[in-house]
Amino acid sequence: MEEGRAQLAMDVSNDRKERDSRAIRWVIDSLTEDGELEPFIFSIPGTLSSTWGKKVWETVAEGEASVDMLSNADQALALVLSNSGQISQHMATPRSDGSLRNLGRAITRLLKTCTAPGILPAEDHRRKRANACVDAALSLVLSIKREWEWFAESEVMAQTLLYLGDIERIRGDVPLGSDSTTVARRTCMSIIAVRKMLQTPAVHDAAQRIIARLADVRGEPESDKDLEAAKTAEIIDRRLGDVWYSASTLHDELSREVEPDKMEERLHEIMLSNKDQIAELEYTWNTLGWAEEVDDAVISLVGTMVTATGGVLNYLPHIVLRWQTDPRRIPEMGMCPIPTYLMPQLIPPRLLIQRLWVCPWLFRSISASGWGVSMYRPKTLGEFSAPELRVTELRELMATQMPIKTQLCRVQDLRDGGLVYFLELFITAIRSIKAASQETSRPLFIRTFQHIIADWKAYPCAIWTQQLLVNLLRQVLPRDHDPPTDEVPGYIIDEFLSFVAKVLAEKKGPHVNEAILMMEEYINFCGGAQEIARMAISTISNLDPPDPLPGGLLTPPV
């Protein structure tokens, strides 16, 4: 009979789910010592690995919501009674904190023991506890549908991620004594933490200042700021594209090997054969002084984002670099100061042009004084070129169409909440993590993606957000010349295509047509067996899926 009662008690039922959720709340509220709490924190990811465990934790969260609603109702009733004189104000019912908030405080407390010096002297114990707390917080955030904010204090989580990043080099390397899955989980937690920490008025205001500075150039105070800013961005794109091409052409010429005793002769040859490129660089630098305030606003936004994230943004791969030291001799007057951080997604255009322009300025300086008496005589001619010409991220950026216009869309998206910007962080990270191709990491990355887009309907999804999304689609879909290591996993491509279809459904414009064309090319590239892409095209076009041709190829677009 006892075994029968135990078996009945363990049957899957609503009663058991309620009992299990009460048990979890009891454990959370009862464990007060760190030594007792730590094993429970270690067990949380395991409890969320099953469908039943997720349902139980959802019940815990629903109970938390009920406690909040009841507490608020009690508070309101107490306030009414106090105003009527039936009870005194200080007798108003206090709001219950709830078990999940207690759990959040407990995780925060354990994280502090990892980052504060002297509390846990053993390095292995500190790292093990920090990883366990990060894994527990990540599992809870990704598994519980209800949006909740008490998994840990943002500042403490940021300190922990920085600590683990310093210890285990989160920038894509597999740390010693760990595995790539650990790096993947920590990277996903970093993206989620950054997403939360950037949702601040300071970031939104800094983004709006860039838009305002771009719009002010047009001198139309009563016009649409976003529209005027877009026109200015197009002008900068034309000028920046020309000077980058000119600087790259000069760089290619300067990088050729030449004997030391013939450097002066070769330099004069380059100056004579590249007069147009030199003139283009000098002209653009002299005429783009009005963009200095735009630069200041961009640099301010970058600094605000780095500060708001406590430095966690720096540890995501390929997001935050540092401006390289320029070994060249530069003019003493009229130069913009070089900031600390370089974000390829947010480039100060005039500062970049300044770095490119120094090359022809040195040409003029040497030509005027003579090679033999010049104060600047590099060991190789290639040292005349700006260091930025050798930065992979900038070279890839300048190979795209209209980088500043795309940057404006990114700034507008950040001002509106950053829906696509956080997807950009996610896609950039997943392309750098070796674990992304492993089947064991598939649920983690899918849930992280779904977490980022879960509340997408709450965002404006204006035209600039749509355009930025289409630009990201171009990076997500594979192409013939992409190396396999840079490819986004197919399961994320499917998730992304479904999301793009939702956002662009019933939308019109060249960017929508471009998205459909890219999806059709993707289907043809993969041999036609891409049902998700077909359904995405159908959703965007509001048409039946196109019939395949023999061999699985789509009918070419009319």
Place of tokens 């191709």: 437
Residue 296 structure tokens: 């200041």
Q: From CA 545, how far away is CA 525, in angstroms rounded?
A: 18
Phi, psi for 347 (deg, rounded to 5): -100, 130
Question: In a 10 Å sphere around its CB, with 0-12 CB exposed, 13-18 middle and 19+ buried, how is residue 149 labelled?
Answer: exposed
Q: From CA 518, how far away is CA 537, in angstroms rounded?
A: 10
- Name, in order, each residue with C-beta under 8 angstroms of 482's C-beta and a sequence gap of 6 or more: none
What pLDDT is recorded for position 110? 92
Read off the pLDDT band of 305 (50, 70, 90).
very high
DSSP letters spanning 24-48: HHHHHHH--SHHHHHHHHHHHHHHT
- Name, in order, each residue with C-beta under 8 angstroms of 150's C-beta and a sequence gap of 6 or more: 100, 101, 103, 104, 105
H runs (alpha helix) in 401-553: 403-415, 419-430, 442-453, 463-476, 490-504, 510-525, 531-541
C-beta separation of 530 from 523 below 8 A: yes
User: How many alpha carbons lie under 13 Å from residue 408 in its C-beta half-sphere?
Assistant: 25
C-beta separation of 78 from 174 below 8 A: no
Q: What is the CA radius of gyration of the chain?
A: 29
Question: With left for phi above 0 and alpha for psi between -120 and 50, is residue 552 left, alpha or beta?
Answer: left
Read off the pLDDT band of 130 (50, 70, 90).
very high
Say which range, 302-316, 434-448, 506-520, has the weakest mean pLDDT. 434-448
Identify the sign of the CA torsion 74, 75, 76, 78: positive
Q: From CA 455, how far away is CA 462, in angstroms rounded?
A: 15
What pLDDT is recorded for position 369? 81
- Name, in order, each residue with C-beta under 8 angstroms of 432's C-beta and a sequence gap of 6 or more: 171, 172, 317, 318
What pLDDT is recorded for position 540? 94
Residue 435 pLDDT > 70: no
What pLDDT is recorded for position 473? 97
Sequence length of the chain is: 558
Residue 523 pLDDT > 70: yes
The residue ranges of every structural domain in the chain are 14-197, 202-398, 417-541
Q: Helix crossing, 225-254 with 349-369: angle to 10°?
A: 40
- Name, in order, each residue with C-beta under 8 angstroms of 541's C-beta and a sequence gap of 6 or more: 516
What pLDDT is recorded for position 35? 85
What pLDDT is recorded for position 423? 97
Taking residue 317's Cβ as centre, other Cβ atoms within 10 Å add up to 17
Say which range, 295-299, 311-315, 330-334, 359-363, has the weakest mean pLDDT. 330-334
DSSP letters spanning 316-367: STTT-EEPPP--S---SSSPPPPPSEEBTTB--HHHHHHHHHHHHHHHHHHH
Q: From CA 489, how far away is CA 431, in angstroms rounded?
A: 8
Residue 230 pLDDT > 90: yes
Residue 40 pLDDT > 90: yes
Q: From CA 398, how far away is CA 420, in angstroms rounded?
A: 20
Residue type, 502: K
C-beta separation of 249 from 277 below 8 A: yes
H runs (alpha helix) in 340-455: 349-369, 392-398, 403-415, 419-430, 442-453
Phi, psi for 200 (deg, rounded to 5): -130, 150
Place of tokens 């090679």: 371
Q: From CA 380, how far away is CA 254, in angstroms rounded?
A: 8
Question: Could you tell me which of 226, 182, 227, 143 has the C-alpha nearest to residue 435?
Answer: 182
Residue 145 structure tokens: 């549908």
Say which range, 295-299, 321-325, 370-374, has the weakest mean pLDDT. 370-374
Question: In a 10 Å sphere around its CB, with 0-12 CB exposed, 13-18 middle and 19+ buried, how is residue 1 labelled?
Answer: exposed
Name the pTM for this structure.
Answer: 0.85
Residue 91 pLDDT > 50: no
What pLDDT is recorded for position 533? 94
Helix (H, G, I), strand (E, B) or coil at 176: coil
- Average pLDDT, integer, range 328-350: 90
Residue 89 pLDDT > 50: no
What pLDDT is recorded for position 133? 93
C-beta separation of 385 from 378 below 8 A: no
β-strand pairing of 341-342 with 321-322:
antiparallel
Q: From CA 209, how far away is CA 236, in angstroms rounded?
A: 17
What pLDDT is recorded for position 335? 86
C-beta separation of 161 from 312 below 8 A: yes
Say which range, 4-13, 138-147, 352-361, 511-520, has the weakest mean pLDDT. 4-13
Question: In a 10 Å sphere around its CB, with 0-12 CB exposed, 13-18 middle and 19+ buried, how is residue 224 labelled?
Answer: exposed
Say which range, 77-81, 402-406, 409-413, has the weakest mean pLDDT. 77-81
What pLDDT is recorded for position 549? 42
C-beta separation of 519 from 527 below 8 A: no
Residue 308 pLDDT > 50: yes
**Tens digit of each residue's pLDDT (9 = 90 or more) over 408-426:** 999 999 999 999 999 999 9
